[in-house]
Amino acid sequence: MFNKNLKLIIAGLIIAFGIYQITESFIGNGISLILFSGIFIFLYFKNEMILLAFLRLRKQDFEGAKKWLDRIKNPEKALTQKQLGYYNYLHGLMLSQKNMTQAEKYFKKAIKLGLSMDHDLAMAKLNLAGIAMTKRRKREAQMLLKEAKKLDKNGMMTDQIRMMKQQMKKI
């Protein structure tokens, strides 16, 4: 909703006003304002539109997630690098249902920009392996599956990896 730099400016102004309130003996107001500025600092690191799109994806509402992502105008300027990675990751997840070629482009861009969670990176690589497998690129699919297995430390995707390896034997 707000530009990333505007969020920091707003947080700085609120902190400055909070400090002013403390110096004027309104300590409660000052402390609450400083705590309130934490919301803007949090939203600098975690974009609100991406968070709302993730909530929509948890409910399998792809159209709702797309609406939230479409509200981000000019993502290169409005998002940090990691947020841009997740922006592309979410677009890749939504497009993987319809258009594999475009989804591959988004997943590769998300991996290049970086995803902070290992399981998200593993999921992106797993989807890329599936796309490579459908395009008959067995070596690339095997490499991506191996990388996804390394990144899946909690074993959440072992069944999907096992199924893809079985499907790869048929190619």
Contacts of 158 (CB under 8 A, 6+ apart): 149, 152
In the numeric block, which tokens belong to residue 133? Answer: 């497998």
CA distance 169 to 171: 5
pLDDT digits (tens, 9 = 90+) for 45-65: 888 999 999 999 889 898 999
**Where does the pLDDT of residue 73 fall: very low under 50, low under 70, confident under 90, or very high at 90 and above?**
confident
Q: Mean pLDDT across the chain, nearest whole number? A: 89
Non-local CB neighbours of 157 within 8 Å, separated by 6+ positions: 119, 122, 123, 126, 148
pLDDT of 17-43, one tens digit each?
999 999 999 999 999 999 999 999 998
Neighbours of 98 (CB within 10 A): 9
- Sort residue 80 into left (φ over 0), alpha (ψ -120 to 50) or beta: beta
CA angle 16, 20, 22 (to 5 degrees): 115
From its phi and psi, is residue 47 left (phi > 0), alpha (psi between -120 and 50) or beta?
Answer: beta
Token readout for 58 is: 């948890």
In this prediction, residue 2 carries a pLDDT of 67
